Chains A and B, each alone.
Chain A
Amino acid sequence: MKKVNYFLAALLGLSIQFASAQVKKGSVLIKNATVLTVTEGTLENSDVLVQDGIIKKVGHNLNAPNGVTTIDATGKYLMPGIIDAHSHLGLDVVNEATSPIVAEVRMKDVVNPYEVGIYRALAGGVTISHAMHGSANVIGGQNATLKHRWGSTDPADIIMQEAPRTIKFALGENPTRVHGRGNGIQPRTRMGVEAILRNGFNEAIQYKKAWTEYNAASSQKGSTAMAPVHNERLQILSDILDGKIIIHCHSYRADEIYMLINVARDFGITKLVFQHTNEGFKVAPEIAEYTMGASVFADWWAYKFEVYYSTAYNAAILTENGAITSINSDDAELIRHLYHEAAKTQRYGGMTDEQALSMITINPAKQLGIADKVGSIEEGKQGDLVIFEGHPLSSYAVPQMTFVDGVKYFDIKEDADDQRMKVSPTEMVEPVMVYGGHDSRCMQDTEHLFETTESLFLLNQ
């Protein structure tokens, strides 16, 4: 019986979390700021008290309890920590590109807390990022939601352990290119992508049935039932069908978005967020009605054919149609100024301050299933905060300090320039990288699948 339980546990995905012994929690009182709560309006000249990592009080004339540091933010703006719903920071591996479905792989296995990009994101006010598997597979791996506790050496300490499970899907050019054209297996077309999805889910239903029957039979006395083969991949798909995992799907074209909505509806899946979603504006009513919305670029387009018919007004159209909309980076550079990316929705579609700020705070929090914990300045939420010089939606805004769980991880005035946590003992000259264009890593680790250097550089998104 013990063994059966062990397997039940494993099969239910209840793999034991070897979490972090101690995640640092801090206390701080920030006074006299213009507080952009996002969900409860703007509070002029207000104070926010964080104790042991949690926002205890938002109000006026608050006093610092014993031993709690006070920061005077007169003339400055305070907003919730920015949340990036699409990132590949802090991952040693991004793509297990070798099969159209790799639901069994876990980005949590390869989190790398040493990547200096995490600090740089903090310097742009980003406290949480969604470290995603790449987009080479129709059903990719399970993502990790990271809290940017810079300086931690244990990967478990930067994983937001209380965040729900999410998984990467991808439609369109990337999976059809990698598998169909690269390896000569399905899918080579958007028809094939749908077939892979439906096949996978139907197999998962059979798989679950086999195990349910086995478990029922084996609990009978003198059972002679034989356990089916364990298949983690199908188990995860089964968990998706059971609503235990939120899908985050790389997608561009309206037709493929619509296809996945139909597949999801057929299989009773409601936890679905679209990523990139450049043509989401064309099916905004459907996205609003049937999904948890879309996470989009502010203005990226034309880097590949399926994003040629894009518009920077995408976020505004989605928002006006009632879809939960977030602005993401998918990029180690862009993540450094998501506040500015959100501000672009004011030029392209006239979003209000609150709408624009929601797109990098509470909306991505909703899409990651953590809106009850982060994404706004409210009492009881986690103390993830950013102090800005200038309104964060101004092009001249400069982040000053960033807090995660009440602990200050970025301070523009005090931080050392060199933030590397690890230095190679054998590297003579630090490599000087002259970056051309974007540093997106959606297709990282798929290099060997492509023939030429050029195609590799062009396949970045």
Chain B
Amino acid sequence: MKRLNKIFIAFLFALLPMMAMAQIDGEVIKPRPGKFLLQNATVVTITKGVLNNTSVLVEDGKIKEVGTNISADGAEVIDCSGKFIYPGMIDGGTKLGLVEVSSVQETVDYAEIGNFSPNMQALTAVNPNSVAIPVTRVSGVTTVLTYPSGGLFPGTAALINLNGYTPDQMYAGFKGIVMNFPSSGRRGRYDRRSDEDIKKANEKALKEANELWDKAKSYGALTEDGAELDYYPEMAQLAKATTGELPLLIEVNTAADIQAAIKWVEGKGAKVIFTGVSEGWRVADEIAKAGIPVVTGPIQALPTRESDRYDTPYANAGKMAKAGVKVAIRTDGQENVRNLPFFAAFAAAYGMGKEEAWKAVTINPAEIFGLGDQYGSVEAGKIANLIVADGDPFETKTNIMHVFIEGYRMPLSNRQIRLYQEFLERSPGLKVN
């Protein structure tokens, strides 16, 4: 017991920064806005290099200033000497907030009935109180794209910040229509369709996609000309992709499908983003040539083919980046979006390099989602999504000391941490009969 106490105290000390922000005996620490001066840090701006002994001033939700001689006037000063400031990480594809417990159907809100439902709004179903959200943000992920799935056009994805009490407060300014490009691949070990069946299903789906697209295009054109068409919310929504008003997020994975998708989007006039792209490395040059940006992941995944080298999923993002594709990384996660920094580290270690991997979770997704002027780097004028860490946030040993989202200082606690605090030394302990 004594030893345990000693360890516990040593632990408390190590975890002090975290504990300081955590809930203690009923006191609830809430996200708090304010003027904060993060002083004397090493600032990893992503876009403007690494700045030593630099401070960052946060005010009105924005990064007010990045520099060496910033007045602390009226600001809460946080000493960051020896620490690192990074932009908050952006996960380019998740179901965060749309599901609480995967096997409990009643909590699963990402898959609506119907093959053609682009009018389903992910943002509507985001649960701001999902237990997974605070679990995610303590890892330094501040912004995620959350998207619906299932069917050909499952709905409209939305980018959200991981702070806020309503979906609108969380909304980060990007929406895109999701399309599952007809797949010639298998969905897993249970999918034992024959080659012919897959091919047939694929052709049928592609035909359907074309028909829907053409209809939506006509719908958009006629409406634009002032036609009063019947209420048709699905067409009205997809029409926005045909006019380029909303980007089209095309989920596509096998090499053959990627090639087909590149051909498919040609001349369609849509703003296209490819997502998934597991076999992007096989056709990286073609993706680069088409100029289509990519959100890829999960990085920690199995190779798509038995004959593939074991590390192809780790190396995929790097290979595409090297070929000139603009690459963002996603976890494709729900409850474990917190692993985004580790996915990025794997991509970095298997060929992408740290610098490019950082871009893939910050400025690249920001730019891909058309928000490069607001997110993705530590620059004056941008939204204050920041993390302060005592080392490289991609390393598990590193502690994330502070997280700011839209200028709010976030409590670094969540249910998992509170359970730790309660049970590390349970009382009563072992009851001996």
Contacts and interface: CB of A to CB of B under 8 A. Distances in A.
Interface SS of B by simple majority: loop
B416 A311 contact: yes
A337 interface: yes
B178 to A, nearest CB: 14
B296 interface: no
B222 interface: no
A313 B18 CA distance: 14
Contacts of A390: 349
B185 A417 contact: no
B189, B306, B307, B345: residue with the most chain A Cβ atoms closer than 10 Å = B306
B195 A428 contact: yes
Contact of B189 (A300, A333, A344, A433): A433
Given A303-B103, A430-B307, A458-B103, A289 B349 contact: no
B90 to A, nearest CB: 18
A395 B396 CA distance: 7
B346 to A, nearest CB: 7
- Most chain A Cβ neighbours within 10 Å, of B132, B301, B398: B301
A304 B102 contact: yes
Nearest to A416: B309
Interface in A196-246: none
Nearest to B344: A395
Interface in B127-183: 131-132, 183
A106 interface: no
B304 A304 contact: no
Interface in B312-369: 332, 334-336, 338-339, 341-342, 345-346, 348-350, 354
Contact of B338 (A299, A393, A435): A299
Interface centre among B187, B311, B339, B397 (most CB of A within 10 A): B397
B4 A320 contact: yes
A155 to B, nearest CB: 19
A331 B1 CA distance: 36
Contacts of A337: 300, 346
Nearest to A344: B396
Interface string B406-433: 0000000001110110011110011000
Interface residues of B, number: 71
B302 interface: yes
A302 interface: yes
Contacts of B429: 285
B264 interface: no
A386 B298 CA distance: 26
B238 to A, nearest CB: 24
Contacts of A332: 302
Given A285-B429, A434-B185, A393 B101 contact: no
B104 interface: yes
Contacts of B232: none
Interface in A275-318: 281-282, 284-286, 288-289, 299-305, 308-313, 316-317
A346 interface: yes
Nearest to A337: B300
A59 interface: no
B15 interface: yes
B187 A429 contact: no
Nearest to A307: B101
6 contacts: A285-B429, A303-B103, A417-B308, A418-B308, A420-B307, A439-B189
Interface of A: 116, 119-120, 123, 281-282, 284-286, 288-289, 299-305, 308-313, 316-317, 320-322, 332-334, 336-337, 340, 343-344, 346-350, 390, 393-398, 417-420, 428-437, 439, 444, 447, 453, 456-459
